[in-house]
Structures are given as C-alpha cells and as structure tokens.
Structure 1
Amino acid sequence: MQDFGLIDLPYPLRKLSLNPLGTLRENPNDSDQYVFQRGADALPSVGAAVVLPPSERQLRSIVESGGERRRVKIGTSPLAGNAKVCVDPNRLFGRHLAVLGNTGSGKSCSIAGLIHWSLEQAQEICSGQPNARFIILDPNGEYSHSFGGENSAIKARIFKVNPAGGECSLKVPLWLWNSAEWCSFTQASAKTQRPLLKRALREVKAGWIGATGSTDEENKLSLRRYLSSTLITLQRDLRSGAIKTDETKFGFRLKAIRDDLEYKQGECATTRLNEISKAIDDALQATHNSFKKEGKQIDYYRAFTEQQVEIVITTIKSSLETLGGITYPEGPDEDVPLFFKGSDLADHLEILSNQENVSQYLDFLISRIRTLLSDSKMNAVIGCDGSITLKQWLTDYIGKDKAEDGSVTVIDLSLVPTEVVHVVTAVIARMVFEALQRYMKINGAALPTVLVMEEAHTFIKRYRDDVENHDAAAVCCQVFEHIAREGRKFGLGLVLSSQRPSELSPTVLSQCNTFLLHRITNDRDQELVHRLVPDNLKGLLRDLPLLPSQSAILLGWASELPILVKMNDLPKSQQPRSDDPDFWGSWVGKDEEGKQMLCSINWLPIVKDWQAGQDGEIEGEDT
C-alpha cells in the first residue's frame, strides 16, 4: 500500500522520520574526539540515504558535550552507551529549574540528589564547607531526613514547628509581614478596612502604644518615631484644611494623641511631653462643645485655628530636638520590618475606628485579628516576643558569612496551621529575595542563593487577576512570580517541584529555563510540557508516560539537547522520606526483604498531642 506520509523510495530497506538537532565535527586537536553544536549549516535532502549511523563514541560525545563547566555529574544516558550526564551549576540554578512528574516518579530524590552532588563536588574543590546557600521550603516534612544527619558531610539547619534534638523552632514573626500579607491574612476589604489597616501598621511601627523596647535607648527611639509620625500627620491636616472641614474628627485625633502621651510619660524622662499635652488641652478646650440627645451627651468640636495647631506642632518639634530630631521624614512605610506586637495592632485599630467613627466596618476585622492571634498553634510560629531581631532572623534562615553554619536550610512547613501556611511561605520567600536585593545594593555583588519550593502547584497556583481582594494563596503566588522575573539579577535561583504543572502559574513556569521531566501521565500536564519544547523536538517527549522511576528527560538551558537521564543512586540516608506506604508488609508483618515490621497501635500519645497542644499533658490520661 502507498504510504502518503513518507517519500516513496525505489527500494528502501527502512524509512526514518528524523528531527535535525545539530552538527558533530571532529576535534581538530584530537581525531578520536568530537565536538557537538546545536544547529546545522546544511540539511540533508528528503530521501537521502543514511551514510553512517553514529557510533557509541559519537553518541557519548553528543551527550557529554559542553566543556569543563559541566562540573556536576547527575546520572548517565542509557541511550548513549551510559555516557556521563553532567551539568553546569550556573546554568542549572541560575536560570530557574522546574522538576515535574507524577507522585512516585522520583522528583524529591532528584532534587535532594542535585543539591548533594553539587555540594559534594564543591567540597572536593574548596576542601571545606562550600559557600553555598540552599533554602528548601518543605510542606511535607520530607527533607529533614535527607540533610543534616550525624554522618552527613553537609551541614544543614532544620526549622520545624515542634523541633526535636538538634533542630530549631520555626519562627516567622508577624512584624516581618508586609501590608499585602496582612491584608490577605485578615481578609481586609479594599474600601474601608485596607486603608485603615495600612495606616495602623504605619503608626504602630512608628512607635504608637505598646511598640516599645525594654531599654531607655529603645524607649527613646520608639517615642521619637511616634512623635515624628504625629508631627507629619498634623502638618498634613493643617495643609489640607482638615482642621476646619473635618474638625470633630481632628479633635478626637488630638484627644487620642494626648492620651497616648500620658501613657508614654513614664517611659522617657522628658518634660517636653507635658508641654505638648498642655498645648493640645488648650486647643481642645477652646473648640469643645456638647449637647444632649435622648439622654446622652454628644461631644463635638468647632473649627480649629491655624495658630492653635501651630502651637501643638511647635511643641512637638521642641520635644523631638531633645530626642535627636525627626525620623522617617515621610513616615515609616507599612512594609518596613519593624518590631511590634499583634495585640498592639488590634488595640490601635480599635482606637482608629473610634477616631474615624467607622466601628461598624472594623469591629469584625479587629475581632478576626484577635481570634487568629489567640490560637496557640498559630502563635508558636507567628508570635513575637522580641527574642528574635531582623539580623538574627536573616542569619538563621539565609546563613552566616561563608556558610559557616551550613549550606542548606530546611524549613519544614508540615505542621504550620493551614490558616497561615501560605502567608508564612510568602513571607519567607519575600524576605530572602528582598535581603538579597539589599545585599547587592550595598556590596555591589550578588550572594548566590537557591530557593527550593516543593509542592509548587499548591503555593504557586494560577489565580484570577480580576479579583478585588486576593487571598493568601494569590499573594504567595505573586511573591514567587516576582522572584521568577527578577530573582536572577540578584543571585536568587528558583527550583520548583510539582506533580501538576498545568496548575502552576504560567508566569513562573515561563521563566524556568531548565526542565527535569519525570513520568507524566495526565493529558493536560503532557500537553503543557509539550509546549515547552520546539516543534522539531516534540517527538522526544512521547515516552514521558512510560518513564520508570529514577529516569527523567533533561532539557533547556542546562543541556545542549534533551537527554534521557538515569539519575545517580542516592544513599538511603540521603533520600527524602517520600516512600509509598507498605500496605502488604503491614498486613503480613514482614517487608519484601523478610524483615519484621512492627505496626503496634497506642493512641494515648496521639490523644495527648491532639488535645493538649505543645505541653503534651491532659487530665485523665489513664482513661
């Protein structure tokens, strides 16, 4: 029968449909070696005979091409005589990497292996601890087993909600959060709640009630911020004419300032605060009025004169001079990581709601904040007792100079409460990114760091742009989109691991230049992956549904051409805990090797942990 899809040759023995990949030339310095380059100067004509099939040495030359920069061996290529597959860490981690595949296809072991093999190779070169930084965001608690063991040559820091011996307590204090994260956490509406929430954040960080330190110097700095913010607010109201057009609100604002000053009077020994309070009292008494309505006294204020407000402003300036002058000329930004307590924010929001007469809009928001912050499990992660500073947090989570405390940071998110897990993930990723931005700004050079995100389809999930109020998941995705677009400029590489690439943010996926594709069986995921490669290479991805575990296709910036790779073996002690449960072994009491499996049940420790939280003690435990 005539095959209309192929050229009809006179007497063909075999027919092939080929995709041109590149050109293989003899090495002019060594006739036994070959040099492979992508692309071709001339293509064979349709129907041309195959003169010479590639030898095993030529196939190995194609796979092993790339020069001395390919320093890290990650596996072998079974289709090219088990040629060594090596990668350049600059290409692999510098341009973002996506590891995609079904559950059980070997993604976690591949990521752990890439980190282990890279650091081990670096250790051989520098004969010591490499100055590398890998930060792993681990929502399933798999990687703490892979790094930091007693016999491991790679030092690691493990952060958990309930740490065991040698591990650290996971802390992402709420004063590190920016305004977008606060708005998503509190579900603040855009019209009334969000502006007042941002204002409350600015003013609490500027040194309002409660945001004080423990030493005299910290108290003075807090008072200085507070007076600076108050001065800027009053000057703004004076310029806008609010002292005459919105006089009652302005009067209640002055009254709240006076009450704050009375609270702060004992914190700093300065008589100038009395002068400010007296100036405010004089202005309030001169404009105060009241009337009775239905048996209740209603207070209001007439228009203030500019002279009355100028006197208050002058006394604040005099007090500031004794403290070192005004700070934050434009007021503290709500996104600056300055220490404050969550309860102080709720208290100040309540003051603002009374000042602005919008209690009906803020009562539910304030109640939500107090309820969330009173959760003991949540407070274990986001609580702020002042024990950790910004410098200490950056040192713990990004690392010390020359990575003295380890090259790997594993952040176990498995026990983080669901209500805050997206916010906590967003804060960690954003803080790392912004810290590296400022590092480059000050030092003029990047600090190469790799951020690994497991279960990326959960935290970097596509969202709708037309939604007015973005939830925590959308804010988390936006952080990673920013990192994907800008991270390379500041030395931050991104490694994503996902079993559902079709659910990932298109923005993030489009910024990944290298892909390690394990077995993928879902039609939608296969369709998306096929769009990642040029048309003439799509045939290489036909075997994706059939790939065995520990095998993957490497393609993109880190590889001259797509390669089928059998990943190196990873010792059991270095593998993440992601094995499938052994149902049969549990049923019969023995594993496949014949070893005894102990599956006894004692629910009491589980009940104690469940009911009592962190202390692990409950009444009537014998029952």
Structure 2
Amino acid sequence: MGDERISQPLLLNQPEEILNSLAKFIAFILGDFCKVYKTEETDLFTDFYKNQLGKEEIEKLGENKPSQVTIIDMSLLPYEVLETITGLIGRLILDFVSRFPESDRGKLPMVIALEEAQNYIPEKNRGDRESIAKKVFERIAREGRKYGISLLVSSQRPSELSKTVLSQCNSFIIHRLQNPEDQKYVRQLVSAANEDILQQLPILPQQHVVIMGDAVRTPVQARMNNANPRPNSNNPKFIENWTMDLPENFPNYEKIAEAWEKGAKYKPTNDEPDVQQEE
C-alpha cells in the first residue's frame, strides 16, 4: 500500500466503497459504461465518464452511446504487477461473457488487442514465477471464439511469444524483421508462404508488410494505410534538437517529478510553452 505504483492501479488507496464495482469495471473496460451510468454517483468510474463527456473532438464520448474502442494504458505499471493486472482483465472479460445465457452467447463480439504482447504472454516464464496472463490468454485463444472473443497479438519479438497463442492465430501481418531468431520462427510458423516473400522480411520498407493466412488467398506484400490520427512515433530529429534553442523551463523537472511521484504522466497546461509549440 505504500508503493503508489502498485496501490493506485489496484485501488488499494481508494477510501470509499464503490457500489456495484464489478459491473461498473466490466462495463467501463468494454466501453459500455453508459448502460450503468448514474449521474448522482461520484465514484472514480463515474467521475472519469463525466469528464470524458465534456471533452472535445476525438476524446469526447457520446452520451448514451457505447464506445467502439477502449484503450487501457499500462505503460506506467511496474513489472511486478503488469502480468497480474493484464491477466486479471482478460479473466474478467472471459468469465463475464461465459456467464451469458446460452441464447445470447456470442452476441457481444469483441477483439482484445495486446500491444507489446511479449510482456503479457511470454513463452518462457521469467524466473520461477508462472505467468498468470499467459495462462489466461492461452485459454482465450483456445476457447474465446465460441464466446465471441478474438485476440489481436502485436509484438516486435514473435519468437518470445506463447506458441499456444500463436498456433491459434489464422492470419499474420508481418513488418520488417531483422532478428534471425524471429525470422526463423516466422518461417516455421507460416509454412504456406513461399521463400521469395519470406526473404523480403529483413528489408521491408517502413509501413510495408507481408500478409499471410486466412485473410488472403495467397501470401502478399502490401503497404499499410496512413493512420488517422497519426501516432507520435516518428524518429527524433537529433541534430536539429541538439542545436535549437529550447524554452527556458524545458524540461520542467519539478512538474515531471511531481507527476512521477503520483504515478502519472506529466501534461503541460495550455499557458505553458513546450518544444512543439515553440517550433
């Protein structure tokens, strides 16, 4: 409870009891919070939902309208609890849909996308501790289809992923792979691909992929569409940033450290200049 990195995501420092907490949590992560929302309540789920209703453009939620995408940011979670919390969320989702009446089974289809999946579903256990998340997502990979749950597994190190999960995948979108182990693993995984296409993996240009599996009739190389909105993933301009004059208070060490100690990311205010505004 003394470690804010752990106590905050696990709600150990939550002073008030949350009524119907399980129903609210499930509805929250499935984007259906509008179906349990009550304006008079003041728990953290309701407060967050009210705040999102008041936002503009892409972050704004539509009132009485379910969300199509829910992003759960776990980038600040410490390694000690990352797999546990990820596995817990997957287990709750699977248990929830498996409790539907037989007549309603599969009527709430969903896709769980695992970004940097090697952190959640590693093939080898780290140390002597068995990965909880690995067990949960292997079960989802095997049984999730009949409940309407699909997995989208994204990783830069496919050779480190659970073979059980990958064996259940029926389509593969492969970006450039330069690690020999990963290339070898993909060759073993997708035997239907011809050698000419697989030889392109180490030299694929940015934004180009090789697509294999049930999604296409034959393995094919393609260029992905531009993302909208664009992710902030461009390479830093090293020389330009080293030689330019930065704002006097950049980086804001005190504010960043203050947010860090609270287990949050620092967000500059509108009246506070940053490098992008200066450019």
Residue in structure 2 matched with residue 531 of structure 1 by the alignment = 188
Tell whether 2:204 aligns with 1:547.
Answer: yes
Superposition pairs for residues 515-594 of structure 1, below 5 Å? Answer: 515-534=172-191, 537-571=194-228, 574-589=229-244
Matched residues in 2 for 1:612 and 1:450: separation? 32
Tell whether 2:52 aligns with 1:391.
Answer: no
Residue in structure 1 matched with residue 270 of structure 2 by the alignment = none
Question: Is the Cα contact below 8 Å between 1:454 and 1:497 reproduced in 2?
Answer: yes
Amino acid in the other structure paired with 1:578: S
Residue in structure 2 matched with residue 405 of structure 1 by the alignment = 66
Residue in structure 1 matched with residue 96 of structure 2 by the alignment = 435
Deviation at 1:514, TM superposition (A): 0.3
Given candidates 157, 182, 197, the residue that maps to 1:500 is: 157
Q: Secondary structure, in 3 states, of the residue corresponding to 1:608?
A: helix
Question: Is the Cα contact below 8 Å between 1:449 and 1:491 reproduced in 2?
Answer: yes
In structure 2, the CA distance between the partners of 1:415 and 1:444, relative to structure 1 (3 Å rule), is closer
In structure 2, the CA distance between the partners of 1:606 and 1:407, relative to structure 1 (3 Å rule), is same
Question: Is the Cα contact below 8 Å between 1:440 and 1:447 reproduced in 2?
Answer: no
Question: Is the Cα contact below 8 Å between 2:177 and 2:202 reproduced in 1?
Answer: yes
Matched residues in 2 for 1:417 and 1:399: separation? 25
Residue in structure 2 matched with residue 379 of structure 1 by the alignment = 7
Q: Percent identity?
A: 35
Amino acid in the other structure paired with 1:609: A
Residue in structure 2 matched with residue 603 of structure 1 by the alignment = 253
Matched residues in 1 for 2:105 and 2:263: separation? 47
Deviation at 1:612, TM superposition (A): 6.3
In structure 2, the CA distance between the partners of 1:405 and 1:538, relative to structure 1 (3 Å rule), is same
Superposition pairs for residues 301-316 of structure 1, below 5 Å? Answer: none
- Structure 1 or 2: more helix by fraction: 1
Superposition pairs for residues 197-596 of structure 1, below 5 Å? Answer: 373-383=1-11, 385-387=16-18, 389-400=21-32, 404-439=65-100, 441=102, 443-463=104-124, 470-471=129-130, 474-534=131-191, 537-571=194-228, 574-589=229-244
Deviations 1:34-93 (A, max 9, x none): xxxxxxxxxxxxxxxxxxxxxxxxxxxxxxxxxxxxxxxxxxxxxxxxxxxxxxxxxxxx
Amino acid in the other structure paired with 2:116: E
Amino acid in the other structure paired with 1:579: N
In structure 2, the CA distance between the partners of 1:390 and 1:544, relative to structure 1 (3 Å rule), is same
Deviation at 1:434, TM superposition (A): 1.5
Unaligned runs of at least 5 residues, structure 1 = 1-372, 590-595, 617-623
Amino acid in the other structure paired with 2:203: L
Deviation at 1:414, TM superposition (A): 1.4
In structure 2, the CA distance between the partners of 1:536 and 1:399, relative to structure 1 (3 Å rule), is closer
Deviation at 1:598, TM superposition (A): 5.2
Q: Secondary structure, in 3 states, of the residue corresponding to 2:184?
A: helix
Deviations 1:208-230 (A, max 9, x none): xxxxxxxxxxxxxxxxxxxxxxx
Deviations 1:386-442 (A, max 9, x none): 2151111111111326x9231010001112233211111111111111112122546
Matched residues in 1 for 2:87 and 2:72: separation? 13
Matched residues in 2 for 1:576 and 1:381: separation? 25
Aligned residues: 231
Identify the range of structure 1 (528-537 vs 580-589) with the bigger mean alpha-carbon deviation. 528-537
Amino acid in the other structure paired with 1:520: L
Q: Secondary structure, in 3 states, of the residue corresponding to 1:412?
A: coil
In structure 2, the CA distance between the partners of 1:418 and 1:534, relative to structure 1 (3 Å rule), is closer
RMSD: 2.8
Unaligned runs of at least 5 residues, structure 2 = 36-63, 267-279
Q: Secondary structure, in 3 states, of the residue corresponding to 1:423?
A: helix
Question: Is the Cα contact below 8 Å between 1:440 and 1:446 reproduced in 2?
Answer: no
Deviation at 1:568, TM superposition (A): 1.3
TM-score, L = length of structure 2: 0.74
Amino acid in the other structure paired with 1:386: E
Deviations 1:359-400 (A, max 9, x none): xxxxxxxxxxxxxx3433322111254215111111111132
Superposition pairs for residues 100-111 of structure 1, below 5 Å? Answer: none
Question: Is the Cα contact below 8 Å between 1:484 and 1:494 reproduced in 2?
Answer: yes
Matched residues in 2 for 1:495 and 1:518: separation? 15
Higher relative contact order (CA 8 A, sep 6+): 1
Identify the range of structure 1 (430-439 vs 511-520) with the bigger mean alpha-carbon deviation. 430-439
Question: Is the Cα contact below 8 Å between 1:399 and 1:406 reproduced in 2?
Answer: yes
Matched residues in 2 for 1:613 and 1:492: separation? 31
Matched residues in 1 for 2:263 and 2:86: separation? 23
Question: Is the Cα contact below 8 Å between 1:487 and 1:493 reproduced in 2?
Answer: yes
Residue in structure 1 matched with residue 44 of structure 2 by the alignment = none
Question: Is the Cα contact below 8 Å between 1:439 and 1:447 reproduced in 2?
Answer: no
Matched residues in 2 for 1:535 and 1:433: separation? 32
Deviations 1:309-366 (A, max 9, x none): xxxxxxxxxxxxxxxxxxxxxxxxxxxxxxxxxxxxxxxxxxxxxxxxxxxxxxxxxx
Matched residues in 1 for 2:196 and 2:2: separation? 56
Matched residues in 2 for 1:536 and 1:414: separation? 35
Question: Is the Cα contact below 8 Å between 1:520 and 1:526 reproduced in 2?
Answer: yes
Question: Is the Cα contact below 8 Å between 2:6 and 2:81 reproduced in 1?
Answer: yes
- Structure 1 or 2: more strand by fraction: 1
